[in-house]
Amino acid sequence: MGEFATGYQRSILIISSVLLLLGTTYVNSAQSCDGIYNQQLTTLQGEKINLCDYQAQPILVVNTASKCGFTPQFEALEGMYSQYKAQGLMVIGFPSNDFKQELSDNKQIGDFCKLTYAVKFPMMAKSNVTGPNANPLYQQLIAKTGQAPQWNFYKYVILPGGKEVYAYESSVLPDSKEILGKIKPYLKPVK
């Protein structure tokens, strides 16, 4: 019986050590998420997204509006998301009425995006993207690039790790060579 207890106690000690190590690793990885990724985002449907979960991936962020001349860019954004999602690309839309071309509430915006352009990439709750009331992510994007959105469909590419962030005018298409040239080197190979 003594040998069983000793072996049993060793097993408990080993399991406890592994759990402690895993817990420490988890805490350290959670603590390592800061800066631009330290964001809790809310979708049009009220779901939460933790931007920390995407810090190892390229992210394309775009402020959107349902009644803008650039609104057809939703097609290219959704096309990129569906084509490159499995390789690690994250596309995030931020509806905003900063330029007076967005619908009045989150439900209307969500219905428009889904029914008109079959958007499946995450669309955040309506918010400001310019000025002193800009949402926290946009405040950081503006600080990192020195460029605030000048109009709807202004784009930002956040490369993995968040050390490099690039801004693109509304007229630059999401699937342009400029944007894809920044994103593609960070996509995982197709299996």
Cα R_g (the chain), whole angstroms: 21
Burial class (CB in 10 A: 0-12, 13-18, 19+), 40: exposed
Question: Helix, strand, or coil here: 55?
Answer: coil
Calculate the dihedral angle through the C-alpha atoms of 115, 116, 120, 124, rounding to the nearest 10 degrees: -90
Beta-strand ranges (E) seen in 4-161 are 40-42, 48-50, 59-64, 90-95, 155-158
Contacts of 62 (CB under 8 A, 6+ apart): 73, 77, 91, 92, 93, 94, 153, 154, 155, 156, 174
Q: Compute φ and ψ for 125, nearest 5 degrees.
A: -60, 150
Contacts of 140 (CB under 8 A, 6+ apart): 35, 36
β partners of residue 92 = 61
Q: Which residues are catalytic?
A: 68
